Amino acid sequence: MTESAPVYWYCLKAKTKREHIAAQILRSRTDLEVFCTRVSITKKTVRGPKAFTEALFPGYLFCRFNFEESSRLVSYAQDIKGIVKFGQQVPLIPDLVVENLKVALPQETAEIKPPTIEEGELVEIIQGCFQGESGKVTQVDKCTNRVNLLIEFLGNHVQIEVPSHSLINSKPSNPGESLGLQATANP
């Protein structure tokens, strides 16, 4: 790449669940800067909670290059489907956007933890027979992952017990906290 050639960040479409592999291949075979953010999410399975690592932007990654010099190389790299376009227009990703992502997720892998639920908080039930109802947390049992709630049901205040994974905080204090993002080291 020449010194005067302008380089910009572009969004690339990658094969789903292979974004990190495409990013690694681009890094190893070229001198291009690549950014592919992944998150570790704990999901409920039949065998209990299990951690999964997935792309924060499924099917996409970011790459910084000179379009005229490297677009063909990037477009035909392994596990890359192409450069994101809107008709014939190829959007440029501002440097600040990628830099902010790098600051927020410095190791390119973040862990999404379920929000903590504390006594006295207002929560909403997101699954089960009381789905959509809101209530106040009266007790949290961290051993069994169950929460006691006081809800209004048929005009009366009723105490119920629900699994903690079926609740979300009604009013998170800030958007980043509601996602529970914390930077962790790459596996």
- Whole-number pLDDT of residue 21: 92
- Whole-number pLDDT of residue 91: 95
Q: How far apart are CA 108 and CA 102, in angstroms?
A: 7
Task: Name the residue among 126, 146, 129, 127 with its Cα closest to residue 138.
Answer: 146
Q: How far apart are CA 168 and CA 177, in angstroms?
A: 12
**122-171 shares the fold of 8-112:** no
Give me the phi and psi of 151, to 5 degrees please: -120, 165
Q: Which two tokens stand for residue 104?
A: 């927020």
pTM, two decimals, is 0.59
Fold of 122-171: SH3 type barrels. (2.30.30)
- Whole-number pLDDT of residue 15: 94
Q: Are 132 and 176 in contact (CB under 8 A)?
A: no
Q: What is the pLDDT of residues 130-151, one digit of tens each?
A: 778 888 888 888 777 788 888 8
Helical H runs in 3-145?
19-29, 67-75, 95-104
CATH 3.30.70.940 fits 8-112, yes or no: yes
Give me the phi and psi of 85, to 5 degrees please: -135, 150
Q: What is the pLDDT of residues 75-130, one digit of tens each?
A: 999 999 999 999 999 999 999 999 988 888 766 565 555 567 778 888 888 777 77
**SS3 assignment, position 131:** coil
Q: What is the pLDDT of residues 26-56, one digit of tens each?
A: 998 888 999 998 888 777 666 666 778 888 8
Q: Where are the domains of the chain?
A: 8-112, 122-171
